[in-house]
Each structure stands twice: as C-alpha cells, then as structure tokens.
Structure 1
Amino acid sequence: MYLTRFRLNTARTGARRLLSSPQSMHAAVMSSYPELLPTAAPVPATAGPRVLWRVDRNASAEVLLFLVGPSQPDLTHLVEQAGWPAAAASGTAGWQTYRYAPFLEGLDKGGTWNFRLTANPVHSVRNADGAPTKRTAHLNARHQVRWLLERQEPCGFRILTKPEERRHTEHRDEHQVVVRDQCGMDFGKQGAKGRVTIKTVTYDGRLEVTDPDALRRVLTGGLGKAKAYGCGLMTLAPVG
C-alpha cells in the first residue's frame, strides 16, 4: 500500500474543474494507476484494499489531494492539468508517495493518534408503513458525530473523551472530535439516469487504537459510503 499527497494549484482552470466535479476527480484519480482499466468494475466493499482519495481544503491556496492505493500512482497528468508543470520539469515530481505498509504494521493497541476523515454519514428511514427504506444524510453535527461513534468499536478505534473541565454538557460535547467542511453535492451520474446527492463532512479528532487489524482495514478499505466521490479515507497523524 502507498500513501500519496498532491497539492493542487487552485489558480489553474484545470484544478478548479476537478474540485468542482467529484466525477472528474474520481476519473483523474483512477487514471493515476496504470494497472487499473477504465472499464474495471467497482471494487466490492469486501474485496480488501482499494483506491481511496480525499481533498483537504486547508486554505484557499492550500488544497491537497490524498490517495491511498495498492500500488504507486503516476500523477503526471494531474501535474499538467492542475499542478506546477514547470517546477516538475526542473526535477520536482509534483507529488510525494510513501510506502504505507511500515506505518500500518507499526500500529499498536493503545496507541493514540490525531485523525482526519471525510465521510458520508447516512442512515436509512422509512416514510410510511410498508414503504421501502431510503438512505438519508445526517444533517446536524450531533447526529453526524453519533454516526461515527456507532462505528468506532468494529473499526478498531475509540474516540477519546475530553477532560471534564473542557466539556460543554449542554451540547453533550464530550468527545475529542469536531465536524467541519460540510458540503452538499448534487450531480447527474454519467451514463445513468437520475442524480446523485451526497452530503460530506470532515471529522478532525483524536483516537485510541483498540484493534490494530480492524483499524488497518479501515485505513486501506475506507469507512462508510460514497468512496468513489472522495469519502471514506481516514488518515492518522502523531499527537502533538
């Protein structure tokens, strides 16, 4: 497995086009892996490692694309469309790729990490008796955090709680996690009728590893729905 980081040049039209279209970004990401054919069927959720991606908008001029995949990607086309081609031609590749396996293998039970996750928190509702259930997005931060808390045990981590003096009990604000960068996407799916509607949120927080193997599966296989549209990728960073 490999983790890759690419900074988008938001002054370029190509970068803005990719950032405005999750379908275009998905196509560009998948084109970064020469061994993956464009006609390849979607990877089943149970098939193990897959290509995951996430866009982090840290500032107007600092927009980063993260990729996790089973092989090293070639992002030359992204550099040409949405990066700094002249800088890349002078010897800077334009992206950084790291072997992910050593990091994953080093995860130990009880270790604590800062984490970031962009996800599509949804639940199933039934509007009338006997009617089929419909997948619906969670719209407020309390329900979005609860969605994540419900998944922490089977996913091999525990979100840490805040010290008593830092909690706001009136808001039930006890966990070390915040929800930010909520984004609604609505677009037509290429080659199919109807529209795709997705609500994405980004979580920043701190966790403790409870089951390293389960957490490794999340880090390489993703968490939740809409993985083709930039959801599901969790990354860890050292505390402090």
Structure 2
Amino acid sequence: MYLTRFGINTERIGARKILSSPQVLHAAVMASFAELPDPSPDAPRVLWRLDRDSRSRTHLCIVSPYKPDLTHLVEQAGWPTTARWETYDYGPFLDRLAAGDRWAFRLTANPVHSVRNKDGVPTKATAHIGPRHQLGWLLQRQESSGFRIVRKASARDDEDPLAAHELIVHNRRQLAFTKRGAGKPVTLVTVTYDGRLEVTDPDAFRRILTRGLGKAKAYGCGLMTLATA
C-alpha cells in the first residue's frame, strides 16, 4: 500500500476544472494507475480525499495498492517545474498498528441512513444533516471498524456525545454532479471528522484504512488518515 500527497495549484484553470466535480477528480485519480486495482469487495482499493489547511492550500491525499504516477495532474493542476508529489510506502506503518495505540485522525465521509417513506416502497439512502446525528453515524461504526473515539477525561455518562468525545465535525458540503452517461444528477452530503481514536482491533482497523469507511468512496469519501496524537 502507498500513501500519496499532491499539492493542487488552485489558480490554474485545469485545477478549477478537476475540483468542480468529484466525478472528474475520480477519473483523474484513477488515470494515475497503469493497472487498475482488484475490483473485488475484499481487496484494497484506491481512496482519495481533498484537504485544505489553515493557509487555504489544497492537497489531494491518495491511498492505493499501487504507486501512482501523477504526471498528468502536475501538468494540469500543479507546479510542473517546482513541485510534484510525495509517495510513501504505507505497508510498514500499517503493519506496526497495535491495540491500544492512540492517534489523531481525519476522515471525510458520507454519513447516510436508510429511510422508507411509506410501506411497500424500497428504502432510500438519506444523509444525516445535524452534527449530532453525523457523530452518531461514526460512533455506530467504531466497534466493527477496530477503533474507539477517545472520550474526554472529564466527560460524564449523561453528557452530550458531541461534548464528551475528542472530536469535531465540520466542513459540511452538499455536492451535486452528473455521472458520465447518466442524466440524473448525483447529490451527496459530506462532512469531515477530526479527532482522536484508540485502536481496538488492528486487523479490522487496517481494513478500514485500506478499504475505506462508508459510502461514496469513489467521490472523495471514506479515507481515514492518522497523525501523531
């Protein structure tokens, strides 16, 4: 597995084009690989996420089973003569993960739940809108995903979960775009989680880091990255 970070020059016309649609950016990311990854559900997949830092710089993060070649993105949306991209071997880090490790994390996700509006009709994936429900979506998945969101030392059992956990939910975005060959626009809501977690099941957690969490993985959701807490 590989972890890649690429700086996007948002002043370039090409950058504005690829940032205008998750569908376009997904195609650009997948064009970075001469060989497409194994499509089976249990295989590691290509995950990506857009990050903006405190200085409003935009970076593309990619986790992938193969090393990407982002030459086309540098030419279209980067700095061809002064900056390219950084790719790291992710495998040794993943292998070292152990139960009890604590990490700061970032995750952009598409928190949805299934709703049936009337009897006899299929359920429909509906976005969680409020921060409390968006947090609940993540808390519901932590045990099976091999981690636990760290609770504040001062938290009470009856305290609001948003205040009790070392976590913020921010950067809510509603995206609408048209998939190639489809007439009806795709709409999805994304949010970013920044917080601290503890690893409880390293194998399950490694699956999340290499396969993603939640839906809309092709559109910049599901990639969790870690940093020293």
Shorter-chain TM band: over 0.9
Instruction: Go from structure 1 to structure 2 and tell me whether the alpha carbon gap of 1:86 and 1:140 turns closer, same or farther (over 3 Å shift).
Output: same
2:88 aligns to what?
Answer: 98
How far apart, in 2, do the equivalents of 1:98 and 1:184 lie? 31
Question: TM-score, normalization: structure 1?
Answer: 0.90
Measured in 2, the distance between the counterparts of 1:172 and 1:7 equals: 32
> Is residue 222 of structure 2 the alignment partner of residue 232 of structure 1?
yes
1:171 positional shift? 7.0
Q: Could you say if the C-alpha distance between residues 84 and 210 of structure 1 is closer, same or farther in structure 2, counting changes exceeding 3 Å?
A: same
Runs of 4 or more consecutive aligned structure 1 residues displaced over 3 Å after TM superposition: 165-172
Task: Give the corresponding residue for 2:149.
Answer: 159
Aligned partners of 2:93, 2:120: CA distance in 1, in Å? 48
- Match for residue 5 of structure 1? 5
2:75 maps to amino acid: E
Instruction: Name the counterpart of 2:82.
Output: 87
Question: Number of residues paired by the alignment?
Answer: 229
CA deviation after TM superposition for structure 1 residue 193, in Å:
3.1
Residue of 180, 187, 192 corresponding to 1:197 = 187
Q: SS where residue 84 of structure 1 aligns?
A: coil
Q: Which of 164, 189, 212 is matched with 1:174 structurally? A: 164
**Post-superposition CA distance 1:48-95 (Å, at most 9, x none):** 20100000012464111000001110000110011001215xxxxx10
Distance 1:117 1:27, change over 3 A: same
Aligned to 1:113: 103
Secondary structure of residue in 1 paired with 2:19: helix
The alpha-carbon deviation at position 169 of structure 1 amounts to 3.7
Give the alignment's Cα RMSD to 1 decimal. Answer: 1.9
Aligned partners of 2:155 and 2:164 also within 8 Å? no
Look up the SS of the partner of 1:149 in the other structure: helix
Instruction: Quote how far apart the aligned CAs of 1:13 are.
Output: 1.2
Unaligned stretches of 5+ in structure 2? none
Percent identity between the two aligned chains: 61
CA distance in 2, matches of 1:146, 1:165: 17
What is the distance in 2 between the residues matched to 1:50 and 1:176? Answer: 29
**Which ranges in structure 1 are unaligned for 5 or more consecutive residues?**
89-93
Return 160-169 or 17-26, whichever deviates more.
Answer: 160-169
Q: Give secondary structure in 2 for the equivalent of 1:178.
A: strand
2:135, 2:162 within 8 Å by CA — same for their partners in 1? no
Change (3 A) 1:49 1:170: closer
Residue in 1 that maps onto 2:26: 26
Residue in 2 aligned with 1:137? Answer: 127
Structure 1 CA distance for aligned equivalents of residues 122 and 56 of structure 2: 45
Rate the CA distance shift 1:87–1:169 in 2: closer, same or farther, 3 A. Answer: same
- Matched AA of 1:34: A
Question: How much does 1:43 deviate?
Answer: 3.0
Q: Does 1:43 align with 2:33?
A: no
What is the alpha-carbon distance in structure 1 between the residues aligned to residue 43 and residue 160 of structure 2? 41
For the structure 1 residues 59 and 107, does the alpha-carbon distance in structure 2 shift closer, same or farther, using more than 3 Å as the test? same
Deviation string 1:202-232 (CA, Å, 9 cap, x unpaired) is 0000000000000000000000000010000
- Structure 2 SS opposite 1:108: coil
Aligned residues of 2:167 and 2:196 also touching (Cα < 8 A):
yes
AA paired with 1:18? I
2:82 partner SS: helix
